Amino acid sequence: MNIAALVSGGVDSAVVVHRLKEAGENPVLFYIRIGMEGGQGDCSAEEDIEIVTWLAHKYGCRLEEVSLHKEYWEHVMQYALDAVKRGLTPNPDMMCNKIIKFGYFEQNWGKDFDKIATGHYATTTEINGLTYLSTAADKRKDQTYFLGQINYRQVSKILFPIGNLQKNEVRNIALAAKLPNANRRDSQGICFLGRIDYNDFIRQQLGERPGKIVELETGKILGKHRGYWFHTIGQRKGLGLSGGPWFVVGKNIEDNVIFVSNGYDTEKQYGYDLFLDGLHFITDNPWKKTDLPVRVAFKNRHTPEFSEGILSRDTTTGLYTLHSDTLIQGIAPGQFAVLYDRSLKLCYGSAVITNR
């Protein structure tokens, strides 16, 4: 099989190459550059290149470096900055998978290959001749949430060689194979930032705009913030307020006000209803022959646990609502709700949470 393997310098993608070689495949390795130019961060790119070059030499694979920096910044980071300026909570990692790794890369390089292998913790399942995205063996590492916007063409072409492994098993394989990144720490946060703090990056791009922090229940001014774009609904840390815990529960974008709650009314911090802007299905709409409402499992952020609730649609407006069985903390517009079938371990797709 003609396979392109996306490598990053991390242990997961290194073990992907190791497993493919063990299976008798000879993948071509691709390192995608999307980081910040000018040597500022860039995800420790030079160290990454050193590792993937060693990997290519060890396993006798061809290695290509490709740049999708321009595409990343035009389509992923512009989306993220636009969302932040609108007071929303974006998910650039989800957009990177959809637009960059399995979008532009596939269109320009991956199109020449039968499969694209990646180190994501996910699997695929074949049902009635169709390929479905499905969850990984390691529930804590499962990354299907970040793949909830890919399409059928993309999921049909992806290989997840480590999706059936636990993280500790991946580490053990790397140690046994004497891979140089066997004990390398997993990347945290948004990869393109490298060593740059997220708030520092937002400050570089959007600057600061001081405003008031107001207690929602009383209208009392508790302090000041440096710009509403530094804060998201449900946030607890970084407010600089005493007598907490305080949670961000709302924003007034026009007046640059952050509203917080100290727990007088838990429904200000928690909610049952997620209002959705349409539905994107990766493979197929499992409810196309079923009248809504239906019970679904879902995640509104990357966590090991599923929530469950009722998905319904207003026949007049066509708008969807996801009503959770349990209170959800910090429902932030701009986030994605990703829908699952827990029993079949399938990830069906996703929708953007709105302010309706």
Tell me which residues are annotated as active site: 96, 191
Q: What is the DSSP letter of 3?
A: E
d(CA 142, CA 345): 11
Nearest Cα neighbor of 155 from 127, 125, 112, 128 is 125
Picking from 63, 82, 69, 70, the residue whose alpha carbon sits closest to that of residue 9 is: 63
H or E stretch covering 71: helix 69-71
Burial of residue 161 (CB within 10 Å: 0-12, 13-18, 19+) is buried
Q: Do residues 27 and 117 touch, judged by C-beta distance below 8 A?
A: yes
* Angle, in degrees to the nearest 10, between helices 78-85 and 198-206: 80
For 111, the token pair is 């199109």
CB atoms within 10 A of CB 355: 12
Q: Where are the alpha helices (DSSP H) in 177-289?
A: 198-206, 266-269
**Rounded distance, CA 287 to CA 310, Å?**
13
Closest CA to 234 of 94, 334, 85: 334
